[in-house]
């Protein structure tokens, strides 16, 4: 409970949800009390309210989550140079040989957990084990504000009794198939004939069998995961029927994509645009360019061309912009065909980025959005909210 709020959203039935008026009305994250009403991530807010009439719904604030996530990572890096950022709400930390500096891993995990709570104002769960799989499973055992171990000798007691759907990589499609085979717990899966699983689920069957037995060997990577592309899309709050309005949405999406591209220190040489009409039929087109760029205006110009090539004068309800063929920003090249000064445009993009990162995404916006009825950066940046959880090795 912060900033004058009357209730702590973590302690009441609450969800972070999309904007129902703009057709984004789904549950993005839920509190533990909401989970007890069997509310699930991804279901509609209408359905969630049917289960819990007094449900509190709040909008997402992605930039706040990024700020909190960055602050958490700074604390984690004080205890190990090997920290892998797995998502905005989850990290892996390799504690190998660090005990000689900080002591017992369980004791240190509690210190970290308490520091995050006291210094940053939110709670985390920390799981400890010999690999990333078991550490993540340990972190999910009981919430909130807890430290759990899940070493190999603890698997039969702590992990095997759990429902099989709780195992990583057993999703909504796989769980019913396992149930049909008489597999209802993780222990059932661990004791199942792996050849039977492979015959029914191919290579995925062996993977989840290995996971159920705690077998997983990936290392904690302290490098940025290789990105093959950066994209953003939005379901429009109304059917778009004219090119001018479509371009406003494309500009909003492009601003977000280009900002993320620059933030990652990358440039792109391939731009793609996708649209979905009111009948849910999708079209897409991409274009390879002969130079690398991170310029908002350059990407936007190409995106407009692509839209013109695929749009069939049908009402549009979904638009997307994506860039790929990424390279390091220092390898960027200048186009001979741009009509604007590339040096000035790069400085302008940088200045806008800095203002938005410091003061928020709405601190500065293009005049084109002023009377358009369309919010600048309407596509968001995967604006999702999850309780922070850190898995520690």
What is the distance between the alpha carbons of residues 220 and 334, in angstroms, rounded to a whole number?
A: 37
What is the DSSP track for 313-372? S--EEEEEEEEEEEEEGGG----SS-SS-HHHHHHHHHHHHHHHHHH-TTSS--GGGTTT
**Cβ partners under 8 Å of residue 125, min gap 6:** 113, 139, 140, 142, 143, 144, 145, 146, 147, 148, 389, 390
Asked if residues 376 and 362 have their Cβ atoms less than 8 Å apart, the reply is yes
Name the residue with tokens 């400890």: 128
Residue 215 DSSP class: -
Phi, psi dihedral angles at 21 (to 5 degrees)? -65, -30
375-392 exposure pattern, b = at least 16 Cβ within 10 A, e = fewer = bbbbbbbbbbbebbbbbb
Would strands 316-328 and 229-240 be described as parallel, antiparallel, or unpaired? antiparallel
Asked if residues 54 and 71 have their Cβ atoms less than 8 Å apart, the reply is no
- Among left, alpha and beta (phi > 0; psi -120 to 50; other), residue 228 is alpha
Residue 175 CB neighbours (<10 A): 17
Helices marked H in 264-311: 296-310
Active site positions, annotated: 90
Asked if residues 120 and 68 have their Cβ atoms less than 8 Å apart, the reply is yes
106 to 103, 128, 275, 336: CA distances (angstroms): 9, 7, 50, 59
What is the distance between the alpha carbons of residues 325 and 257, in angstroms, rounded to a whole number?
A: 14
């Amino acid at each position: 409970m912060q900033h004058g709020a009357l209730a702590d959203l973590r302690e009441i039935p609450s969800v972070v949800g999309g904007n129902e008026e703009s057709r984004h009305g789904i549950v993005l994250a839920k509190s533990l009390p909401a989970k007890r009403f069997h509310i699930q991530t991804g279901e509609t807010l209408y359905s969630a309210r049917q289960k819990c009439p007094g449900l509190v719904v709040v909008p997402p604030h992605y930039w706040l989550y990024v700020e909190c996530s960055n602050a958490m990572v700074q604390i984690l890096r004080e205890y190990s140079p090997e920290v892998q950022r797995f998502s905005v709400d989850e990290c892996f930390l390799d504690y190998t040989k660090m005990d000689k500096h900080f002591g017992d891993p369980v004791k240190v995990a509690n210190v970290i957990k308490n520091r995050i709570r006291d210094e940053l104002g939110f709670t985390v769960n920390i799981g400890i084990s010999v690999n990333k799989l078991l550490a993540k499973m340990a972190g999910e055992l009981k919430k909130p504000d807890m430290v759990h171990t899940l070493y190999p000798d603890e698997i039969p007691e702590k992990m095997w009794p759990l429902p099989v759907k709780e195992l990583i990589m057993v999703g909504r499609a796989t769980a019913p198939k396992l149930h049909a085979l008489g597999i209802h717990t993780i222990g059932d899966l661990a004791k199942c004939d792996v050849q039977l699983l492979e015959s029914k689920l191919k290579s995925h069957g062996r993977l989840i069998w290995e996971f159920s037995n705690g077998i997983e060997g990936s290392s904690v990577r302290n490098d940025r995961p290789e990105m093959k592309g950066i994209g953003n899309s939005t379901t429009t709050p109304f059917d778009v029927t004219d090119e001018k309005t479509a371009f406003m949405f494309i500009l909003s999406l492009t601003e977000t994509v280009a900002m993320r591209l620059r933030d990652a220190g990358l440039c792109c040489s391939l731009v793609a645009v996708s649209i979905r009409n009111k009948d849910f039929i999708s079209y897409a087109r991409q274009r390879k360019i002969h130079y690398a760029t991170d310029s908002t205006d350059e990407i936007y110009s190409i995106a407009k061309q692509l839209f013109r090539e695929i749009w069939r004068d049908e009402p549009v309800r979904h638009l997307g912009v994506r860039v790929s063929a990424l390279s390091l920003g220092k390898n960027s090249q200048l186009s001979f065909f741009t009509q604007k000064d590339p040096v000035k445009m790069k400085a302008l993009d940088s200045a806008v980025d800095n203002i938005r990162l410091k003061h928020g995404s709405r601190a500065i916006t293009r005049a084109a959005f002023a009377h358009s009825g369309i919010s600048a950066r309407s596509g968001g940046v995967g604006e999702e909210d999850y309780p922070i959880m850190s898995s520690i090795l």
